[in-house]
Structure 1
Amino acid sequence: MSPTITHLKEGKANSLVFAGVNFNIYKVRIQAKLRGKGLWKVVIGEDTRDDDADDDDEFDSKEDKAFDILVNSLDDDNLAYVSHVTTSKEVWDLLVTRYEARTYADVSHVIHELHTKVYVPGSSMQKHVTDMRGLQQKVLLMGSRVDDDMLGRILLTSVKEAFPTMVKILRSREPSPTLDQITNRLLAKEDEMKSRTTTKRKADDEQLLYTGKPDKNRPFKKQVVKDKCHYCHKVGHHAFECRFKKRDLAKGITRKCIPIEGEDQINILQHDDDDEGFILATTDESPRSDIEDAWILDSACTADVTGDKTRFAKLARTRPSTMQLADNTTVQSM
């Protein structure tokens, strides 16, 4: 039952009362009621008064009944609107004039809404289809009609921005898909998009968990050094972090390392950490002939040298090369 058209029991069964809206529904019901009593032609003016007296009495009887039904089918507002007229035709013409134009305007508005409704990506496809169906039914109740084939085409237009490829495929099919086929395909497409989004989100989460580990802030843990410091000769740290070297540098003392007790002291006159070269000097000045049978040890050299080949258990001869010593003299190696 329409919320604006009520049925009252006031001596007559199912009395119809029009409250001012849904005129097209009221129009169908009142027309059916008047037709059932043979009064509809009087209301629309097809039956008129004749010159014959007997026919006049019959017409007046029908007119009175039609007027009674029409007037008593109106609420107080509409009754006041037609209270100045005296025939059923005049009552009906006033109602049509008052409500038909409004109905046509309402229908145009609903049809415009139906054709301009657009699916919002990510929203419920089922709700979108239901809303379109609701507008179709609303147009039908207003006395107009949008059939299922037309609604199917309108539905495809409403989703073409979200699914352009699918819409193009469905529009190219022969014969054209039915409304049910279009609806089922749209719902399936929505499920497919949801599944793809869920899978991508899961993959992204796993990737974030994986790549996030190296960037995680961790408390600084000093690495244990097992090497020997070349400056103070102690194990457990490097020369660049040696506190003895830092102390000496603060005092202006520059040397390669702290001398070991019992050994000749070696002083570094110049040493740049960014440069591998340095100048070496010893405190012992001896003729070259006195050290021919001794090893020359230099941690900066790529090899240690000696002038006594008997010190080698096995000797492999290579191509002779020239070596430059610390005093800028050169010797031939074998």
Structure 2
Amino acid sequence: MVSLDSTNYSIWKIRIEDYLWSKDLLDPILYKERPTGVDEKAWTTLNRKAIASIRQYVSLSVLQHVANETNAFEMWKKLKSMYERNNAMGKASLIRKLVKLQYKDGDSIVVHMNEFQSVVNQLAGMKMKLEDELQALLLLSSLPDSWDTLVVSLSNSAPDGKMTMEMVKASLLNEEARRKESGYPSQAEANMWKKLESMYERNNAMGKASLIRKLVKLQYKDGDSIVVHMNEFQGVVNQLAGMKMKLEDELQALLLLSSLPDSWDTLVVSLSNSAPDGKMTMEMVKASLLNEEARRKESGYPSQAEANVIPESSRGRSKSRNPHHRDKSKGRSKSRKRNFICHYCQKPGHIERFCRKKKRDMSRERKDKNENSEQKPEEKNTTALASSDDDLFVIGDHGLLNVACNDCTWVIDSGASYHITSHREYFSSYTSGDFGHVRMGNDGSPKIIGMGDVCLETSTGCRLVLRDVRHVPDIRLSLISAGLLDDEGYANNFCDGRWKLSKGTLIMARGKKQNSLYVMQARTIEDCEKKQANPSPCITVDPVPSLPPVVVPQDHGGDMHDHTVESHADDHHDDGGDGVPESQPH
């Protein structure tokens, strides 16, 4: 049983009348005075029961108006005068409500028809009864445009051109069931989608500017997954496409390359030079990035993240310590190290126990003793490699071995900031002075005591001039910076364990991968300026003697001597046929 409030009088009236009738309490609201033949005491009891039943089913707000009533007839009359709008204004209000009543897709059609019928019933209670056909037409007019097919079908199939409420209600219920079974998209779902779009889809200029800003500032960090980076990049591009702003494929490729750090410059330059018709594509760039990441993982290429971790872990101290205390202790440690003098190599900064030169010399002595006592004839042309945390030892026979620290082997380093060598005799021009220090991954910082140019004759017969080479006596490897070669217009190509340096169609130098390093054999030219006056050696294809491996025998005094053995290269041309251009030798 519903309780009476200011909105449901028409429904409540029907329900309460039925209830009073079932309890034989209807007479007190129909007759003001006691009917003839009814006992006064019985009438008083009947009247009181009717009042109690009516008050039981009214809301608290309505109860205040009838709380003091003692006559059921008067109370019923009062409620009727308060809530039954039998005047013209009440009828106009209900007709207006009936006409404006609209069904929305996704709502229950049963609820809609109940609401429609409630208004019709209220009008009937005001002595205004609508014809059945008019009710059917008004109910159909309350449907949205998505139901037009049903409306037309009913209009054409109505017998004698006259619709009935029974026919319309049955058709609406059947159509609702059909749509639910077929998964028909409702108008409510469409409205919800539009609302979500308006709330979260930033289709304005500010939204586009924000996404472009995010795309430009997106930067890849060494050590992260390149797949995750490309997914994040593509996600921003897709958002821009959803805002009707589609970036061209070439622009996407260039923006993706611009998000790479400096350590990837070699790949960027290589892609730029090899792009067909000078136009890059996203497919080409993505494939190259994935291949480069796989190559770096296989070769153990040190990532930027690993480089950042090494200094902290090697010291074994947490960043949470007092920074002032750490700086002071670090300074005291460095000052104490400077006061130490090695009694073996006579160099400052360490003691004999930790002298690397002593370790290398002792290793060579053990090697020579083992070779002299145990070497067999069939073991002559052999090579062995041993490594430790601090030193690298390479042992081999004459004519077969190239040691990374000799005078004709250079390591190609894509992470080096400039060319470096420890050999003073390599320089064709040289300037002494204090040029700072070199920062190394093991916290070392050897001093740069000079700088100049080094002129090399490569295995292809071309001359390669290295400008502003740093002279660092304490470094063990001669390094060529791939980044500086890129800046000078050379193209570096690292592929399948081989390195190739080219300029245009001219192959300037070749190298190959040994362990995890790319090395190049080259011969130093003492008088570089004189050689430069005659450029023909740079483009000759005559067989050039290959750079001899350096043999490092040890005499009885423990000194190292460099000896060279000449041999000839069979081929200096690229596999693709774009070899070194021919010219007549001078």
Which interval holds the TM-score relative to the shorter structure?
0.3 to 0.5
TM-score (norm 2): 0.26
TM-score (norm 1): 0.41
Larger radius of gyration between Structure 1 and Structure 2:
1
